[in-house]
Structure 1
Amino acid sequence: MTARPQRLQLQPFAPGCVRGVLRRAGDPGSNSLLILSAAALDRLTACPAGLIVVDGAPFSHAMIRLLGLGIPTVLATAAQAARLPEGAAALLDGATGLITLPPPAAALPGPPAAPAPGVAVSTADGATVELRASVADADGAARAVRHGAGGIGLVRSEFLLSASSQVPDAAAYRTALAALCQAARPLPVTVRLLDISPDKRPAWLKPLPGMAGPLGLQGVRLYGREPVCRAWRAEAAALAELARDFDLAVLIPFVTHPAEFRRWRREMEQALGSQHLPIGVMVETPAAALALPAWMELADFVAVGCNDLMQCLFAADRDQPELAPLLDPYAPALYRFLQMLARDAGEAVGRLQLCGLLPQYPKILPILLGLGFRIFSVEPVMIPFLARQVADTHIDRAACLADALCAARDAEQARRLLGLPASAA
C-alpha cells in the first residue's frame, strides 16, 4: 500500500514548482532543494532547483535580491526546517509554500505565459492595469522585457556601481545606465536616484555619523553631504545625456516633507540643465503618505515604497528576521492605511505607483485593485503570475473583498477571508 504524501505548509516567496532532493550542505547541484539560513544567502554560489530559506526576513534587501535569481523559494522557521529529512525527494511549490514528500509523479505546471512587453493588462471586466518591473542592472532589465513588463517602474540605481571603491563619475553612470536602458528597450525607464541606506552602503562611502538603523541618514537626507552630493549630481548629468535617446523619468528617494522635495527638485532640475525629465517623489513613510495631496501638486508622479512604508508603520526593521512576524502583509491596519491613500489620490490615482513586495503575496493583488490602485512595480519574475491574477479579477468583487479585509479584526481573520492558511507567527 502506497503511503500518503506528507505535506508541510511553509511561507510562499518566489513562485514555481520544482522536484528535487533536500540538501543542507555541499554543492547544491541543479536538482537540489537547498535548505539554508538567511545569513548564508550572500554565500550562495550556484543555483539549486529550489530554495528553503530558514528564518529569513521577507522584506529585507537580501531576500529582494534573491527574487531576481528566479529560483522557486519558500521560507521556513527553524522548527519547520528540522522536519525536512536530508536526502529525501520532494516537490517545492513556491507559489503556495507547500513541500510535498515524496513528490507526485504528475507533470508539473509551467509558468503562465508572459504578456507582451510594454502593454498594459486588463481585468476580467476591462480595467487597465500596468505591471512594471523593479530592477537593479541591465540583466534585470532584460528579464523585465522577457517577462512582459509594461515598463521599468523602478531602477535601484544605488546597486549599479556599489562595488567600486571610487566615487562614480558621470561617465561611469552613463555607461551603466545606457546598458540598462538598451536592455530595457522598448520600455520606458524610471530611475530612482541614489538611495543609500546603512544596508545599501556602497564601497566608495565610509560610514557617516547618524547613518544607522532604518530611520537615520539615508536617501535624500544624504544628498547635501560629500561624497554623496558629487555622486548624485554625476548620475543626474548622465541621465540628462541619456534622455536624448531613451524615455526616462527620475524618482527622488526617501522624501518626508514637501519643503524637502521643493529643494531637491529645484537642484535636480538645475543638474539636468536643458533636459526636462518627469520628476517623481518616493513616498516611504507615514508622514510622506499623509502629504499625498501636496505631492500631487509638486511632483509629476508618486511612487509608494511599500517595503519601507510597512517598516515605519509597524515600527519593525525589515532586515531583522526576528521582527519579520510584525511586518504582516495581511494586517488590516495596513489596508486601512492604503485605502485612505487611494481615496486621497482620487482621480489622480493613475499617477500613483505601488512598489515593493506587497502585491506579490498570495491573494493581495486583487485587494489592491479593489482599493483602486492600478500601477505596480514588482520583480520581473512575478509579472506573468500577477498578469494571470489581474485577468481573473472582477473589480466590483475585489472592492467588496477589500472592504471586508479593511474591516477585519486581525491578520488571522483576514487570512480566513482570503482562504489562506494561518500565519506561522
Structure 2
Amino acid sequence: MTAEMTGIGVGPGVAAGPVARLAAPPEPPADTGPEADPAATLQRIKAALESVASDLDERAARASGPAKDVLFAQSMMPRDPALADRIAKALSDGRSGPHAVAEAFASFRASLEAAGGYLAERAADLDDLRDRAVAELLGLPMPGLPDPGRPFVLVARDLAPADTAGLDPERVLAVVTQEGGPTSHTAILAKSMGLPAVVACAEAASLGDGTEVLVDGRGGIVTVEPDAQTTERAMSSESRRREALASSRGPGRTADGTGVQLLVNLGSQADLTAAAETDSEGVGLFRTEFLFLDRATAPTVEEQTEAYAAVFAAFAGRKVVVRTLDAGADKPLAFVDHGAEPNPALGVRGIRLARRHPGMLDDQLTAVSAAAARNEAEIWVMAPMVATPAEAADFAALCRSHGLAMAGTMIEVPAAALRAGRVLEVCDFASIGTNDLGQYTLAADRMNGELAELLDPWQPALLELVGLTAEAGRELDKPVGVCGEAASDPLLACVLVGLGVTSLSMAPSAVPAVRAELASRTLAECVELAGAVMACGDAAEARRAVA
C-alpha cells in the first residue's frame, strides 16, 4: 500500500529506486580492561587514529568544493592531542583499548555540544570517527556505503561527511536520513552534488532494503511503494525540470522581467574557480574565516590582501560582498583569549569580537581596501551579528574611513530585523542570514536534529522577519538580500522575492534551479505565494501551500 513519509527537502529533484540502508557501525566487545600494557595499547590506538586521518586526507584530495573542506576539517580531529590525552586517561582508569577510544570520543563530543554553534556542528562527526577508529583497532570492516549491485536510494540514521563525500551519483539516486537538519553536512553536501535528499524523516527507520521509494527533494516527501503512474508522472516532471536547468542562462529575473540578482556563496579559496565559473552576478557572501581559523597566529595585512585580491580578480566586473570575520565564542581563534562564556551561542562573536579586539577589524578592512584598489570588482562589505542601529552606524563609518563606499550589515539577530528601518538608515544594504536568524528566532540550535522542524527555513515567523527587513529596504530604496540556505530552495526563493528581497546568494550548484524557477513566475505570482505562506501556521503547512 502506498504511504507517504515527510521530512525536510534539502536536495533538488526527484528520484525513484530501491532502498539500501547504511550498514550499522561496529560494536566493540565487552570491556576487558585494564590493559596489560597501557602504553603499548595507546601507541596502537594512536596508529589507528592516524590511519583514519590519513584515509580522510586521501578522500579530501580526491574531492572538490564543500566536500574537500569538510573532509580536511574532519581529518584534523583524530590528530587532536587533547583526544589522545583523554584516551590515555581512560586507559589509566582501567578501560580496554576500544572502550577507552569510545569514552574519549564521548567526552570530546559532550565538550563540543556544550560549546554550541560552529563547534556543536562538528559533534555528530565524532561518532563516525569513533566507529572508524574502533574498526581499525579491532581489524573489523570499516563503516561504509552499501553496494547492492544496482542504483539505489541510500537510507540511514544520518550520514558522516566521509560517507556523503564518497557518494557516486551514478549509483546513489537519492538520500534519506532519519536525523539531520537543513544546514547539516548531509544537506550541504547533497545540495552541492545535486542529489535529491530528504533529512529529518524519522519514519524512514522503518524502510527495509529493497523497498521501492520515490524521493521528492523539493517537497520533502518520501513515497513508499508508489504505483507506476505516480512514478512516471514524477519522473516526467523531473525530466522537464532538468531540461529547463540546462537552458538556464543570464541574470536572474521573474517571468515579467523583474530583476533579482543571483549570487554565489564562497567559503574558501579552494572553491574559487568553480564559483567564478558559475553563471552568476557575483558573490553575495564571501566568508573570510578560512584565513583565521585553524592557525596559531593572526594573518597579516599582506596575507589577507593577497587572498582577497585573488577573489576580486576572479570576479572582475562583478559584485563581491565581503563578510568581515565571523569568529568568536562558537568559532574560537587560537590566537585570541576568548575567556569562558556560560552560553557561547549567545556570546562574543562577529562585530562583538571586533569591539574587544578592534585591531583585527581594522587590519581586515585595510586589506580589503588595498585588494579592492588593485581590481575592478564591485566591493561591498558587511558585518556579522549586528544587533542595533548604533553598531551598524559605527561599522559603516569605519568602512568609509578605509575608503570602502558600500557598507552593510548582516541581519541574523531578531532585534536587527525588528528595527531594520533604523539599521538601514545608517548603512547601505542588508543581507539576511536565514540560518542564524532562524535559530535565534525559534530558540533552536540549528544542528539539533530533534529540532529540525523548528529550524526549517519555511517557518512563517522567520519569513515574517525577512518581510519586515525587505519592507524597510523598499521604503529607504536600499537593497536587501538573503544569503542563508533558504536562498538555494527554488520555491522558497520565489517566496523571498515576493516578500521584497532583491538578491539571493547560494551554493553555486543551486543557481540554475533558482533562476529557472524565478523565470517561470511573475512578480505578482511571487507576491501571492508569499501571502499564502504568511497565512500558514507552521513550516509544513507553508511548504504545502506553495508546492
Q: Could you state the TM-score of these two structures normalised by the residue count of structure 1? A: 0.82
The amino acid across from 2:525 in the alignment is R
Deviation of 1:154 (Å): 0.7
Match of 1:330 among 454, 458, 483: 458
CA contact (8 A) 2:7 2:220 kept: yes
CA contact (8 A) 2:499 2:527 kept: yes
Deviation of 1:189 (Å): 0.9
Deviation of 1:19 (Å): 7.2
Residue of structure 2 in register with 1:46 after alignment: 166
Q: Is 1:169 aligned to residue 300 of structure 2?
A: yes
Provide the C-alpha distance between the structure 2 equivalents of 1:220 and 1:352, rounded to a whole number of angstroms.
Answer: 19
Residue of structure 1 in register with 2:481 after alignment: 353
**Range with bigger deviation, 216-225 or 359-368:** 359-368
Match of 1:381 among 499, 503, 509: 509
CA contact (8 A) 2:214 2:222 kept: yes
The amino acid across from 1:122 in the alignment is R
Provide the C-alpha distance between the structure 2 equivalents of 1:334 and 1:373, rounded to a whole number of angstroms.
Answer: 14
CA contact (8 A) 2:198 2:215 kept: no
What CA RMSD, in Å, does the superposition of the two structures yield over aligned residues? 3.4
CA contact (8 A) 2:396 2:426 kept: no
Residue of structure 2 in register with 1:422 after alignment: none
Deviations 1:108-141 (A, max 9, x none): 734713754xx53221112111111112023434
CA contact (8 A) 2:324 2:364 kept: yes
Provide the C-alpha distance between the structure 1 equivalents of 2:482 and 2:385, rounded to a whole number of angstroms.
Answer: 14
Match of 1:305 among 423, 428, 433: 433
Residue of structure 2 in register with 1:242 after alignment: 371
Provide the C-alpha distance between the structure 1 equivalents of 2:210 and 2:144, rounded to a whole number of angstroms.
Answer: 13
Provide the C-alpha distance between the structure 2 equivalents of 1:40 and 1:198, rounded to a whole number of angstroms.
Answer: 25
Deviation of 1:285 (Å): 1.4
Residue of structure 2 in register with 1:232 after alignment: 361
Deviation of 1:381 (Å): 1.3
Match of 1:401 among 529, 533, 545: 529
Determine helix, strand or coil for the equivalent of 1:56. Answer: coil
Provide the C-alpha distance between the structure 2 equivalents of 1:67 and 1:350, rounded to a whole number of angstroms.
Answer: 34
The amino acid across from 1:24 in the alignment is L
Residue of structure 1 in register with 2:246 after alignment: 113
Query: In the TM superposition, what are the counterparts of 1:253-268 in structure 2 within 5 Å?
Result: 253-268=384-399
Deviations 1:301-335 (A, max 9, x none): 11122222222221212122222212243333333
Summarize the Cα distance change of 1:212–1:301 in structure 2 as closer, same or farther, 3 Å threshold.
same
Q: Is 1:189 aligned to residue 186 of structure 2?
A: no
Q: Is 1:14 aligned to residue 11 of structure 2?
A: yes
Provide the C-alpha distance between the structure 1 equivalents of 2:450 and 2:204, rounded to a whole number of angstroms.
Answer: 16
The amino acid across from 1:283 in the alignment is I
Deviation of 1:409 (Å): 4.2
Provide the C-alpha distance between the structure 1 equivalents of 2:441 and 2:382, rounded to a whole number of angstroms.
Answer: 22
Summarize the Cα distance change of 1:358–1:349 in structure 2 as closer, same or farther, 3 Å threshold.
farther
Provide the C-alpha distance between the structure 2 equivalents of 1:16 and 1:55, rounded to a whole number of angstroms.
Answer: 20
Provide the C-alpha distance between the structure 2 equivalents of 1:407 and 1:87, rounded to a whole number of angstroms.
Answer: 40
Summarize the Cα distance change of 1:9–1:203 in structure 2 as closer, same or farther, 3 Å threshold.
same
Summarize the Cα distance change of 1:303–1:223 in structure 2 as closer, same or farther, 3 Å threshold.
same
Provide the C-alpha distance between the structure 2 equivalents of 1:43 and 1:198, rounded to a whole number of angstroms.
Answer: 29
Provide the C-alpha distance between the structure 2 equivalents of 1:38 and 1:309, rounded to a whole number of angstroms.
Answer: 25
Provide the C-alpha distance between the structure 1 equivalents of 2:146 and 2:271, rounded to a whole number of angstroms.
Answer: 24
Q: Could you tell me which runs of 5 or more consecutive residues in structure 2 were left unpaired when the two chains were aligned.
A: 24-142
Match of 1:57 among 181, 195, 204: 181
Provide the C-alpha distance between the structure 1 equivalents of 2:246 and 2:276, rounded to a whole number of angstroms.
Answer: 13
Provide the C-alpha distance between the structure 1 equivalents of 2:7 and 2:418, rounded to a whole number of angstroms.
Answer: 35
Higher strand proportion, which one? 1
The amino acid across from 1:56 in the alignment is G
**Range with bigger deviation, 65-74 or 258-267:** 65-74
Deviation of 1:14 (Å): 1.9
Deviation of 1:257 (Å): 1.2
Residue of structure 2 in register with 1:423 after alignment: none
Provide the C-alpha distance between the structure 2 equivalents of 1:74 and 1:126, rounded to a whole number of angstroms.
Answer: 31
Matched positions, count: 408
The amino acid across from 2:422 in the alignment is A
Residue of structure 2 in register with 1:284 after alignment: 412
Deviation of 1:347 (Å): 4.3
CA contact (8 A) 1:371 1:399 kept: yes
**Range with bigger deviation, 166-175 or 75-84:** 75-84
CA contact (8 A) 2:417 2:468 kept: no
**Range with bigger deviation, 307-316 or 194-203:** 194-203
Match of 1:66 among 173, 189, 193: 189
The amino acid across from 1:253 in the alignment is P
Provide the C-alpha distance between the structure 1 equivalents of 2:303 and 2:221, rounded to a whole number of angstroms.
Answer: 44
Summarize the Cα distance change of 1:204–1:127 in structure 2 as closer, same or farther, 3 Å threshold.
same
Residue of structure 2 in register with 1:368 after alignment: 496
Higher helix proportion, which one? 2
Determine helix, strand or coil for the equivalent of 2:160. Answer: helix
**Range with bigger deviation, 261-270 or 107-116:** 107-116
Provide the C-alpha distance between the structure 2 equivalents of 1:196 and 1:44, rounded to a whole number of angstroms.
Answer: 27
Provide the C-alpha distance between the structure 1 equivalents of 2:335 and 2:159, rounded to a whole number of angstroms.
Answer: 24
Summarize the Cα distance change of 1:71–1:340 in structure 2 as closer, same or farther, 3 Å threshold.
closer
Provide the C-alpha distance between the structure 2 equivalents of 1:16 and 1:413, rounded to a whole number of angstroms.
Answer: 20
Summarize the Cα distance change of 1:97–1:315 in structure 2 as closer, same or farther, 3 Å threshold.
closer
Provide the C-alpha distance between the structure 2 equivalents of 1:206 and 1:33, rounded to a whole number of angstroms.
Answer: 47
Summarize the Cα distance change of 1:396–1:91 in structure 2 as closer, same or farther, 3 Å threshold.
closer
Summarize the Cα distance change of 1:17–1:306 in structure 2 as closer, same or farther, 3 Å threshold.
same
Summarize the Cα distance change of 1:399–1:29 in structure 2 as closer, same or farther, 3 Å threshold.
same
Determine helix, strand or coil for the equivalent of 2:356. Answer: coil
Match of 2:198 among 37, 55, 75: 75
CA contact (8 A) 2:198 2:216 kept: no
Q: State percent identity of aligned pairs.
A: 29
